[in-house]
């Protein structure tokens, strides 16, 4: 009891000393804390997404049908699985971030193990989609050659899906502690291996799709093995105390928060998936899908920067709420959002200027290159919008508002954006451009709504909510641990 009181007084004194700093010094201190998380997170996410880009570049030179099949799997099915698993894993981001801020270090390892259980069971439920990809796509009216090729790619992608379990959970566990550099080193190593292995298998040994997918699976699993070794073998002594029976206890609160997180992020990631799926029903679908998938992959790669800031916003907000500082949480949001927007604006200008020049990295098909040039202005605007919206989602994750944002996403994306896109694309015959413009409008509305919610939030109340959640769960787990120890 006396120790807890000393810790609370220490946190109050630390908070006061930081709040009394001059504005420029406060910004500098916050930027350093932000970049400790954001820098490695951006590099790691960009490197991981770069695995898909590299694979697509090699497969694009194998054949247009192979490229379209790969595009369907990795922009529809893998993104579907990614959305569910990453979303559900973001519950761990909330729990670990707030517990670390409150110095409840021993709980982080227990939350990590619970998240492994929840994500593994979820992956088993998703598995049939990968196994029956071809008949599902054929039943939905997709072109037969693309559906069959997607079925072949999808079987390889099962290993990629299971890699997400270790990848997402370990990253969030380590990010909450600002131990990001190991993730960065492993990501850099993985991409380097992927480039070399893709060239050896696809170009030198002419193994085509098989070579490219073999290299992709290896690249996804290499960093996971390194992260697991780092966590389990003594580099996290405060937060990893070994495997515990508590991982199987009191799972329901973790499942509820994971479901809210999963729904929130899935609704965001599936939004772009709907765009490429609708494109499959348009004229000259193969060219349209190739062009759009390349644009979306470039957009997705750039979004890894925004997702890096999402991670930073989540960690900083959850740490400060756990520490008991509402003012510091609000200040970190302002600094993170402005930094991300400035970078997004620079990239907006870059992609607006280069247009179709970037397309030659992925394909030599003149028709596809021309289509990418037509879509480039929309790509640039999407990049600008995506510099703010994911950061605000990170704030929601840090505060534990996932269920609120899920409702916002349903309204803005599926009640406003998607219907407007369908009307512009099919009724007014703007084709892919119309669908994309409508969906960007939904993203714009969502960004405005999240700005209003964030601005009007009572952050002092959020501090109390975070403390009550941490204390309640930690108390239950310690009681169960003591009871188990007494019994044995």
Q: 359 with 290: CB under 8 angstroms? A: no
What are the 10-residue block averages of pLDDT along the chain, 488 residues in total? Answer: 48 56 84 87 81 84 81 80 81 82 84 91 93 89 84 93 93 86 90 92 87 93 94 90 81 74 70 66 65 75 82 87 86 92 91 75 75 82 87 83 81 88 84 83 91 89 79 59 50
Residue 112 sits at the vertex; the CA angle it makes with 109 and 118, to the nearest 5 degrees, is 145
pLDDT tens, 371-414?
778 888 888 888 898 888 888 888 887 787 877 887 888 888 88
169 lies in some domain: yes
Count the alpha carbons within 13 Å of 76 in the hemisphere toward its beta carbon. 26
Cα 443 to Cα 304, 308, 339, 375, 411, distances in angstroms = 17, 19, 20, 17, 11
Asked if the structure places residue 465 within a domain, the reply is yes
Distance CA 392, CA 306 (A): 10
74 falls within a domain? yes
Overall size of the chain counted in residues = 488
Mapping DSSP onto H, E and C, the string for the chain reads: CHHHHHHHHHHHHHHHHHHCCCHHHHHHHHHHHHHHHHHHHHHHHHHHHHHHHHHHHHHHCCCHHHHHHHHHHHHHHHHHHHHHHHHHHHHHHHHHHHHHHCCCCHHHHHHHHHHHHHHHHHHHHHHHHHHCHHHHHHHCCCCHHHHHHHHHHHHHHHHHHHHHHHHHHHHHHHHCCCCCHHHHHHHHHHHHHHHHHHHHHHHHCCCHHHHHHHHHHHHHHHHHHHHHHHHHCCCCCCCCCCCCHHHHCCHHHHHHHHHHHHHHHHHHHHHHHHHHHHHCCCCCHHHHHHHHHHHHHHHHHHHHHHHHHHHHHHHHHHHHHHHCCHHHHHHHHHHHHHHHHHHHHHHHHHHHHHHHHHHHHCCCCHHHHHHHHHHHHHHHHHHHHCCCHHHHHHHHHHHCCHHHHHHHHHHHHHHHHHHHHHHHHHHCCCHHHHHHHHHHHHHHHHHHHHHHHHHHCCHHHHHHHHHHHHHHHHHHHHHHHHHHHHHC
Is residue 7 assigned to a domain?
A: no
Residue 300: name the closest of 479, 75, 86, 145 by CA.
75
| C-alpha dist (Å) from residue 179 to 58, 123, 130, 359 | 33, 27, 34, 36
Q: What angle do CA 205, 210, 211 make, to 5 degrees?
A: 40
pLDDT digits (tens, 9 = 90+) for 59-77: 877 877 888 888 878 877 8
- Answer whether residue 13 is part of any domain: no
Residue 165: predicted pLDDT: 93
pLDDT score for 3: 46
Overall domain count for the chain: 1
Establish if 288 belongs to a structural domain: yes
Give residue 121's pLDDT.
92
The token duo for 45 is 């996410």
198-248 pLDDT per residue, tens: 999 988 888 888 899 999 999 999 999 999 999 999 899 989 988 888 778
Of 244, 310, 247, 250, the closest CA to residue 120 belongs to 247
* Burial category of 255 from C-beta neighbours within 10 Å (exposed 0-12, middle 13-18, buried 19 and up): middle
In a domain, 1, yes or no: no
Closest CA to 387 of 443, 315, 453, 320: 443
First to last CA, the chain: 27
Separation CA 452–CA 436 (nearest Å): 25
Pick from 358, 354, 348: nearest CA to 53: 358
Is position 487 within any domain? Answer: no
Torsion of CA 454, 456, 461, 463, to 10 degrees: 30
Which residue segment(s) compose the domain that 361 sits in? 23-473
Cα distances from 237 to residues 105, 163, 229, 479, in angstroms, run 10, 25, 13, 22
Encoding tokens for residue 65? 């049908």
The reported pLDDT for the residue numbered 169 is 93
The reported pLDDT for the residue numbered 472 is 65
């Amino acid at each position: 009891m006396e120790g807890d009181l000393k810790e609370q007084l220490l946190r109050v004194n630390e908070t006061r000393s930081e709040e009394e700093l001059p504005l420029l010094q406060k910004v500098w201190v916050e930027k350093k804390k932000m970049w400790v998380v954001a820098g490695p997170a951006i590099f790691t996410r960009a490197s991981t997404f770069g695995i898909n880009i590299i694979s697509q570049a090699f497969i694009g030179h194998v054949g247009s049908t192979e490229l379209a099949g790969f595009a369907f799997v990795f922009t529809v099915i893998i993104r579907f699985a990614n959305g569910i698993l990453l979303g559900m894993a973001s519950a761990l981001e909330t729990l670990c971030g707030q517990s670390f801020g409150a110095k409840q270090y021993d709980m982080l390892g227990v939350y990590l193990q619970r998240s492994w259980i929840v994500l593994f069971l979820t992956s088993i439920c998703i598995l049939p989609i990968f196994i029956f990809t071809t008949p599902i796509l054929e039943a939905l009216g997709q072109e037969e050659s693309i559906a069959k090729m997607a079925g072949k790619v999808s079987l390889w992608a099962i290993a990629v899906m299971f890699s997400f379990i270790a990848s997402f959970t370990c990253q969030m566990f380590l990010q909450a502690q600002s131990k990001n550099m190991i993730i960065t080193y492993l990501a850099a190593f993985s991409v380097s291996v992927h480039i070399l292995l893709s060239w050896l298998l696809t170009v030198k040994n002419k193994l085509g799709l098989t070579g490219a997918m073999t290299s992709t699976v290896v690249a996804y699993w290499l960093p996971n093995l390194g992260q697991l070794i780092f966590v389990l073998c003594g580099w996290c002594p405060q937060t990893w105390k070994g495997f515990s029976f508590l991982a199987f206890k009191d799972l329901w609160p973790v499942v509820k928060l994971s479901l809210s997180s999963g729904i929130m992020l899935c609704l965001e990631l599936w939004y772009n998936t709907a765009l490429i799926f609708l494109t499959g029903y348009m004229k000259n679908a193969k060219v349209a899908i190739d062009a759009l998938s390349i644009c979306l992959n470039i957009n997705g790669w750039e979004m890894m920067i925004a997702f890096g800031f999402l991670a930073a916003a989540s960690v900083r907000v959850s740490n400060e709420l756990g520490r008991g500082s509402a003012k510091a949480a609000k200040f970190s949001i302002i600094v993170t959002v402005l930094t991300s927007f400035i970078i997004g604006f620079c990239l907006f200008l870059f992609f607006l200027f280069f247009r179709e020049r970037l397309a030659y990295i992925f394909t030599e098909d003149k028709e596809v290159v021309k289509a990418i040039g037509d879509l480039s202005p929309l790509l640039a605007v999407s990049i600008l919008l995506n510099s703010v919206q994911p950061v605000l989602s990170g704030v929601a994750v840090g505060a534990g508002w996932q269920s609120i944002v899920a409702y916002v996403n349903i309204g803005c994306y599926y009640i406003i954006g998607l219907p407007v896109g369908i009307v512009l694309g099919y009724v007014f015959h703007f084709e892919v451009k119309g669908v994309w413009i409508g969906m960007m409008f939904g993203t714009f509305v969502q960004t405005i709504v999240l700005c209003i919610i964030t601005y009007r939030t009572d952050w002092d109340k959020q501090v109390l909510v975070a403390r009550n959640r941490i204390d309640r769960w930690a108390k239950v787990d310690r009681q169960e641990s003591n009871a188990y120890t007494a019994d044995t």
